[in-house]
Amino acid sequence: MVLGLCPSLAVTSTFEGALGMGILVILVLTLTNISVSSIRKLVPDTVRIPVYVIIIATEVTILKMLVDAFAPALAQELGVFIALITVNCVVFGRAESFASKNNVVRSALDGFGVAIGFALSLVIIGFLREFLGTGMIVLGRTLPLGFEYTLLQNAGLEKFAFSILVQPPGAFLVIGLILAGIAAYRQKKGAKK
C-alpha cells in the first residue's frame, strides 16, 4: 500500500486534493475489479496484462474527461496525477491478484474496500499536511461544492504552521511520521503480550 501511495503523495498538499484523488481511486479500483472479473474467463493468460492496462487506462481517461468537465479546479490541481492512476501498482495488483480469480460481487467489494483504505490514507495525509502546514483547512476551493468554507482558521495555529509540510518533501515527512507512529504502536502492543 505504501508503494502505491508514492505517486499520489504529490496531490496531498491540500485536504481537497487528497479527497479528490481518493474519490477517483475508489471509482477506478472498483470499476477495474468489476471489469476484470467480468471478462476473466474470456481473456487468455498470454494477453491478460495488456488487456488489464487497456481497461484501467480507458476508465481513467473517462474519469479524467468527467473531472475536466465538471470539476476543472480539481483537474488543474491534480494535473497529470489523474493519468498516473493507470499505472498505480495498487490498482493493477488488485486486478491481477483478486479480480482475475473471483466473481464480480466479491471483486467489486474487494476493490471498494481496498480503495477506501487507500483514499483514507490520502485524506489523512492531506489533512495533516494542510492543517499543520497552513494552520487551517479550506473546503470548496477545488471541489465543486458551490461554496468556500475555511475550517479551524481561528484556532491560532497559523503562526505555528510548518510551511515545509505543504511543499513536496512534506508528504514524505508526514508519511514517515505516520509510519513511525504505527511502528511504535505495534511495538508497544507487542511488548504488552
Domain that holds residue 35: 2-192
The answer on pLDDT for 76 being more than 90 is: yes
Look at the chain and report how many structural domains it folds into: 1
- 3-state DSSP: the chain helix, strand, coil percent, rounded to 5? 80, 5, 15
SS3 of residue 151 by DSSP: strand
**Range scoring the smallest mean pLDDT among 57-66, 150-159, 184-193:** 150-159
The answer on pLDDT for 23 being more than 70 is: yes
- Average pLDDT along the chain: 89
Bridge partners (DSSP) of residue 139 are: 149
Buried b (16+ CB within 10 A) or exposed e, 80-97: ebbebbbebebbbebbee
The answer on pLDDT for 153 being more than 80 is: no
How does pLDDT run across 39-70, given as a tens digit for each residue?
Answer: 999 999 899 999 999 999 999 999 999 999 99
What pLDDT is attached to residue 139? 85
What pLDDT is attached to residue 7? 66
Percent of the chain having pLDDT more than 70? 93
- pTM of this structure: 0.87
How does pLDDT run across 131-148, given as a tens digit for each residue?
Answer: 888 888 888 888 877 777
What pLDDT is attached to residue 140? 82
**How many other CB atoms are found less than 10 A from the CB of residue 2?**
9
How does pLDDT run across 79-103, given as a tens digit for each residue?
Answer: 999 999 998 889 999 999 999 999 9
